[in-house]
Amino acid sequence: MNNSVSSYAYALPVLPLASKADSDRAARLLKQNTGIVLGAHKEDMMARTLGTRTLACGLDRVDHYLDYLENSGEEPEWTNFVNAFTINHTAFFREQHHFDILADFISARPKPIDIWCSAASTGEEAYSIAMTVRESCVAPDSNVSILATDIDTEAIQKAKLGIYTHERIEPVEQAFKQKYFLRGKGKQEGFVRVKPVLRNMLQFGVVNLNGSNWPSNNSFDVIFCRNTMIYFDKNAQVRLLERFAAAMKPGGLLFVGHSENFSHLTKAFRLRGQTVYVRN
């Protein structure tokens, strides 16, 4: 008897190849629907993602997938397509000076206050805002409203759960870790969960900043939109800034990313400080 271990070769699915024309077409669809512009350096990522989505839909050609995508309207595959190209780079208390400015603003601003975290990703930024509010406002549960939205449906679901690894909350100061997070036990060892006192301050939703499903509230005191508009072209940036201005109270604050400068694009805002703008 041959006791040697038999080896079996399992054929891995072969990703359909995206042509340059396929990638260009997909980039146009992405821009038209989300405003996101993918640079030339993202072509390899675009091709891999298109191949993956094509295979997931049971198709063998990327151009057939794109036909299906265009004909499917608001069907679930559009959500999968957008999620696949969404960049979710975020962290707790990223750019700490923004939260110092927010704390001072909340303390002095007449109540009630409405805050919109418009590119909330997986929630780290939104919960950083909530912690800042609780530490800066006498009655945060009744005086401050926080809306957290993102175009990525999977990211916003993670934000709702509020579950993170210990490594993710490393930027949070120790007192806040003890005050606002529960340590996981057993199977949840190594994870923490945001306490209800913080999580209940937030309302979550899916919003395409380039679309029509914006919040009905047009009186925000604060809007966070950090490291998002860098993925839009100039015309889309101008349109978004105009829409933000229309949704804000005079004197409200717009927080943007560290590499974003829009002073030359709009008269609706004036620069207050490093990447912080005031609604005129």
What is residue 9's predicted lDDT score, i.e. its pLDDT? 53
Q: Give the chain's mean pLDDT.
A: 92
Cα–Cα distance measured from residue 280 to residue 117, given in angstroms and rounded to the nearest whole number? 20
**What integer is the mean pLDDT of 28-52?**
88
* Two tokens, residue 63: 């151009």
- In this prediction the pTM is 0.90
**Do β-strands 248-255 and 113-117 pair in parallel, antiparallel, or remain unpaired?**
unpaired
Residue 256 reports pLDDT greater than 50:
yes
For residue range 67-120, list pLDDT tens digits in order.
Answer: 999 887 667 899 999 999 888 889 999 999 999 999 999 999 999 999 999 999
DSSP labels for 209-237?
TTSS---S---EEEEE--S-GGGS-HHHH
Of 31, 25, 30, nearest in space to 237 by CA? 31
Residue 8 reports pLDDT greater than 70:
no
For residue range 116-148, list pLDDT tens digits in order.
Answer: 999 999 999 999 999 999 999 989 999 999 999
Of 225, 232, 262, nearest in space to 35 by CA? 232
Taken in order of first residue, the domains within the chain and their CATH numbers are: 20-84 (1.10.155.10), 96-279 (3.40.50.150)
Residue 280 reports pLDDT greater than 70:
yes
Cα–Cα distance measured from residue 215 to residue 205, given in angstroms and rounded to the nearest whole number? 9
